[in-house]
């Protein structure tokens, strides 16, 4: 039954996108709104149906095939959709949160001239994201993977008439392409190892690998896949594009650069979890990269003045936690954090967007202040999101982050310590943001006087997301809290298997350990959050004083450790230099100069020279003949 309708789940937004692109300007904003919202909502409804159909299906999965995309020799890639516990939840998140953000965008973008262009890209994004999630094979997943990158590029560069937005879009695309190379190489290696690129076949074969199979090749494959994940999910070393990506409209930051696209790296690894489990080296790399990113990005978020930049670094940092969870073989925990983070981070971004909208495009935290009373809905929903992200007991972020930290501790206490330090920073910068924006005095009176709460199209999504942010944790209530850690059971058919069972706490650690770790991290987060709030609700004075006392530290943090400058100096500039050298030295001088034009010139000069003997004077020819005769005579008679 689902076979007839399931393909519409990704295709409907695609049709919507085509409508906006081809007819949007003529049809008017109302028609665009209806089509944009309608297609995504329809996708959500169909995803819901598919979700239950998959739940009822044998093995909790539906495999739907719609013909071949490529079939060459051994390489067969069908157009196939898979609904299993992992992908059907993800499809719900994408279409559900996607629909809310489409609604929010209606209010946020209404004044824009490029309204139709915006929704053309946004609907296209939903199409590609759903393809990524539902695709049955890695190449199809890659279609979505590169496609969401394209939409991200187009939406970051949405304000095309500016200098910075196109540059940020280009940067995002290129950093993602570096990751995509990894993914391409990973696919080649997996195809070489398994002879197929269909995910279910790879997983089936991975379970029956012969010992003599080269695990080195698999390690290469998973490492390369992880490289791909660092690109899309903004991890060290490819995180640099995400903060710049904030140049796009704020709803885009919420949907693409917080809730959905940036989590596709985690999704990819969850999809291939059985292969990753076979390569412990890769898992360790994943864990340490995640932990390092979690802390590193959190420190960069400490002193950002742009409200969206704070949230951007926060996203990079939170994605780090997800990878930390995966690296500790806690695939369910990592995915739970994807799920909870999608709600509260989308909420934070939309809240920030509401503030920016209310202040008429003011993004500087130092120019805000005292908005608590003026924007009550925005304020209260953001408080909820902040409590979630800092891990306040009982909120969704608390359950997911604590599970990750616990597993990290089991893998290595050092990982846990790094994660804990990151959590302390998180609570601090979030309450700094809240204090600067909503408490204290208004620092820009002109903006403050004109500030207003946003229209219902924007506040309704805030409220719904806030409910979701609080409720999302229900899936992950751990056993020691009397829960069942439901997410793991739910995902079991898709990602859990064999030797590693992340959820079997009792066998690995004790209840006392779990309670202890939980207590430590909660205390740290609460103290640090309180510190941030109490400093910054009074204004910016103490940060300015701190900057004066520690100029070096402050500058290094505020300038993001100068990594961008380093990349420019040590990677981009040398590449351009080599490219120029290749062109000038090789093409112009060696091949064309020495290889082509030099022989040409020699021939011409030789020709000119010999031509000069043709003087047309008989006496010269006579002299030549005489010399020639003498020479020949001498040669013959010698």
Partner 1 sequence: MITPWMNSHLLTFLVFAPFVCGAILLLFPQRQAALAKLLAVMGATAVLAVAAIKLFRLPAGENGVLYLERAYWFTAVGVPVEYHLALDGLNFWLVILTVFLVPLTMLGTWNSLSNRAGTAFALFLMLETGMLGALVAQDLLLFYLFWEAMLLPMYFLIGVWGGSERKYAATKFMLFTLAGSLLWLVALLYTAGAAGSFSPEVMAQAATRMPVKVQNLLFVAFALAFAIKVPLFPLHTWLPDAHTEAPTAGSVILAGVLLKLGSYGFLRFAIPIFPGAAAHYAGHLAALSTVAIVYGALVAMMQTDIKKLVAYSSVSHMGFVMLGIASMTVVGTQGAMLQMLNHGVSTGALFLLVGMIYDRAHTRRIADFGGVALRMPVFTTFFLIVTLSSIGLPLTNGFAGEFLILNGTWLSGFGWGRTAACFATLGVLLSAAYMLWMFKRVFWGPENPDPESGTHHLNEDLTPREIAVMLPLVALIFWMGIHPQTFLGHSEKQVARALQQAQAPEGRPAAFDSEVK
- Enumerate binding residues for partner 1 (CB under 8 A): 21, 68-75, 139, 142-143, 146-147, 150, 153, 157, 160-163, 165-167, 169-170, 173-174, 177-178, 180-181, 184-185, 187-189, 191-192, 195, 575-576, 578-580, 582-583, 586-587, 591-592, 595-596, 600
Query: Cα separation of 121 and 13, whole Å?
Result: 10
Q: Report how far Cα 339 is from the mean position of its chain's Cα atoms.
A: 15
> Which residues in 442-457 are b (16+ Cβ under 10 Å) and which e?
bbeeebbeebebbeeb
> Which residues in 108-132 are b (16+ Cβ under 10 Å) and which e?
bbeeeebbbbbbbbbbbbbbbbbbb
Q: Which residue has the tokens 């095309």?
A: 160
Query: Cα separation of 269 and 221, whole Å?
Result: 12
Whether 155 and 252 have beta carbons less than 8 Å apart is answered as: yes
Toward partner 1, which CB reaches closer, 160 or 630? 160
Least Å from the CB of residue 136 to partner 1: 15
Toward partner 1, which CB reaches closer, 188 or 460? 188
Toward partner 1, which CB reaches closer, 15 or 150? 150
Least Å from the CB of residue 334 to partner 1: 26
Least Å from the CB of residue 557 to partner 1: 30
Toward partner 1, which CB reaches closer, 28 or 595? 595
Q: Which residue has the tokens 């309204």?
A: 115
Q: What is the DSSP track for 551-610?
A: HHHHHHHHTGGGHHHHHIIIIIHHHHHHHHHIIIIIIIIIIIIIIIIHHHHHHHHHHHHH
Judged by DSSP in three states, 364 sits in strand
Whether 325 and 407 have beta carbons less than 8 Å apart is answered as: yes
Least Å from the CB of residue 115 to partner 1: 14
Toward partner 1, which CB reaches closer, 144 or 476? 144
Count CB atoms within 10 A of the CB of residue 463: 16
Least Å from the CB of residue 223 to partner 1: 12
Least Å from the CB of residue 237 to partner 1: 15
Query: Cα separation of 135 and 10, whole Å?
Result: 10
Query: Cα separation of 308 and 253, whole Å?
Result: 9
Least Å from the CB of residue 389 to partner 1: 34
Query: Cα separation of 141 and 603, whole Å?
Result: 58
Tell me the C-alpha to C-alpha distance, in Å, between residue 433 and each of 185, 308, 383.
41, 10, 11
Least Å from the CB of residue 353 to partner 1: 23
List the Cα angle 208/213/217 in 5-degree steps. Answer: 115
Q: Report how far Cα 213 is from the mean position of its chain's Cα atoms.
A: 33
Query: Cα separation of 633 and 118, whole Å?
Result: 92
Toward partner 1, which CB reaches closer, 101 or 238? 238
Toward partner 1, which CB reaches closer, 91 or 189? 189
Toward partner 1, which CB reaches closer, 176 or 395? 176
For 22-120, where are the E strands, in sequence order? Answer: 62-72, 75-83
Least Å from the CB of residue 8 to partner 1: 17
Least Å from the CB of residue 256 to partner 1: 17
Tell me which residue of 353, 317, 351, 324 sits closest to 426, measured CA to CA. Answer: 317
Least Å from the CB of residue 106 to partner 1: 23
Judged by DSSP in three states, 306 sits in strand
Burial (0-12, 13-18, 19+ Cβ within 10 Å), 459: buried
Least Å from the CB of residue 535 to partner 1: 40
DSSP state of 479: G
Least Å from the CB of residue 170 to partner 1: 5
Tell me which residue of 461, 457, 248, 438 sits closest to 355, measured CA to CA. Answer: 438
Toward partner 1, which CB reaches closer, 148 or 371? 148
- Find all residues with CB under 8 Å of 595, minimum gap 6, and list them: none
Judged by DSSP in three states, 61 sits in coil
Toward partner 1, which CB reaches closer, 184 or 484? 184
Toward partner 1, which CB reaches closer, 2 or 227? 227
Task: Identify any residues that bridge with 64 across adjacent strands, giving them in sequence order.
Answer: 81
Toward partner 1, which CB reaches closer, 456 or 570? 570
For 309-350, where are the E strands, in sequence order? Answer: none
Handedness of CA 13, 19, 22, 24 (dihedral sign): negative
Toward partner 1, which CB reaches closer, 27 or 167? 167
Toward partner 1, which CB reaches closer, 205 or 305? 205
Least Å from the CB of residue 171 to partner 1: 10
Toward partner 1, which CB reaches closer, 240 or 462? 240
Query: Cα separation of 153 and 167, whole Å?
Result: 10
Least Å from the CB of residue 627 to partner 1: 35
Least Å from the CB of residue 153 to partner 1: 8
Toward partner 1, which CB reaches closer, 240 or 469? 240
Task: Identify any residues that bridge with 276 across adjacent strands, giving them in sequence order.
Answer: none
């Amino acid at each position: 039954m689902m076979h007839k309708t399931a393909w519409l789940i990704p295709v409907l937004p695609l049709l919507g996108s085509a409508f906006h692109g081809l007819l949007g300007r003529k049809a008017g904003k109302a028609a665009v709104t209806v089509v944009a919202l309608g297609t995504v909502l329809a996708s959500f409804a169909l995803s819901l149906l598919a979700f239950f159909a998959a739940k009822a299906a044998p093995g909790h999965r539906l495999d739907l095939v719609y013909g071949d995309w490529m079939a060459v020799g051994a390489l067969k890639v069908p157009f196939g959709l898979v609904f299993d516990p992992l992908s059907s939840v993800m499809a719900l998140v994408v279409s559900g949160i996607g629909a809310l953000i489409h609604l929010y965008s209606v209010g946020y973008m209404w004044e824009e001239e490029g309204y139709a262009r915006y929704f053309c890209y946004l609907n296209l994004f939903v199409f590609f994201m759903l393809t990524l999630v539902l695709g049955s094979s890695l190449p199809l997943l890659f279609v979505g993977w590169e496609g969401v990158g394209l939409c991200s590029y187009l939406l970051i560069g949405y304000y095309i008439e500016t200098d910075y937005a196109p540059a940020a879009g280009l940067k995002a695309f290129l950093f993602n392409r570096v990751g995509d190379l990894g993914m391409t190489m990973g696919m080649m290696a997996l195809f070489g190892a398994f002879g197929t690129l269909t995910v279910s076949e790879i997983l089936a074969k991975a379970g029956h690998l012969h010992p003599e199979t080269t695990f080195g090749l698999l390690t290469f494959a998973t490492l390369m896949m992880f490289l791909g994940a660092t690109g899309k999910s903004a991890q060290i070393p490819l995180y640099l594009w995400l903060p710049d990506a904030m140049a796009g409209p704020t709803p885009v930051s919420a949907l693409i650069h917080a809730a959905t696209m940036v989590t596709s790296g985690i999704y990819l690894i969850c999809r291939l979890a059985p292969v990753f489990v076979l390569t412990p080296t890769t898992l360790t790399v994943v864990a340490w990269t995640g932990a390092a990113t979690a802390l590193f990005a959190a420190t960069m978020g400490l002193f950002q003045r742009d409200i969206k930049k704070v949230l951007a670094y926060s996203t990079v940092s939170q994605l780090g936690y997800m990878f930390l969870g995966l690296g500790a073989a806690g695939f369910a925990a990592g995915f739970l954090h994807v799920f909870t983070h999608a709600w509260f981070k989308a909420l934070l971004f939309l809240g920030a967007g509401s503030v920016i909208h209310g202040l008429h495009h003011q993004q500087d935290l130092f120019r805000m202040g005292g908005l608590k009373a003026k924007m009550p809905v925005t304020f209260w929903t953001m408080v909820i999101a902040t409590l979630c992200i800092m891990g306040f007991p009982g909120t969704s972020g608390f359950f997911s982050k604590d599970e990750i930290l616990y597993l990290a501790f089991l893998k290595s206490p050092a990982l846990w310590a790094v994660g804990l330090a990151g959590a302390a920073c998180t609570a601090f910068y979030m309450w700094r943001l809240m204090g600067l924006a909503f408490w204290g005095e208004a620092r820009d009176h002109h903006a403050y006087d004109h500030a207003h709460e946003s229209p219902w199209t924007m506040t309704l999504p805030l409220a719904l997301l806030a409910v979701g942010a609080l409720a999302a944790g229900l899936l992950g209530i751990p056993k020691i809290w009397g829960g069942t850690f439901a997410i793991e059971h739910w995902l079991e058919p898709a990602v859990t298997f064999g030797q590693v069972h992340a959820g079997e706490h009792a066998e690995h650690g004790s209840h006392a350990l779990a309670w202890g770790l939980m207590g430590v991290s909660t205390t740290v987060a609460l103290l640090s959050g309180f510190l941030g709030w109490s400093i910054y609700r009074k204004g910016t004075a103490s940060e300015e004083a701190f900057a004066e006392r520690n100029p070096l530290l402050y500058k290094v943090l505020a300038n993001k450790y100068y990594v961008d400058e380093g990349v420019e100096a040590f990677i981009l500039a040398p590449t351009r230099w080599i490219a120029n050298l290749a062109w000038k030295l090789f093409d112009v001088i060696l091949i064309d100069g020495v290889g082509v034009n030099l022989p040409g010139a020699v021939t011409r000069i030789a020709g000119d020279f010999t031509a000069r003997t043709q003087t047309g004077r008989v006496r010269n020819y006579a002299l030549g003949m005489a010399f020639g005769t003498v020479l020949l005579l001498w040669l013959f008679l010698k």
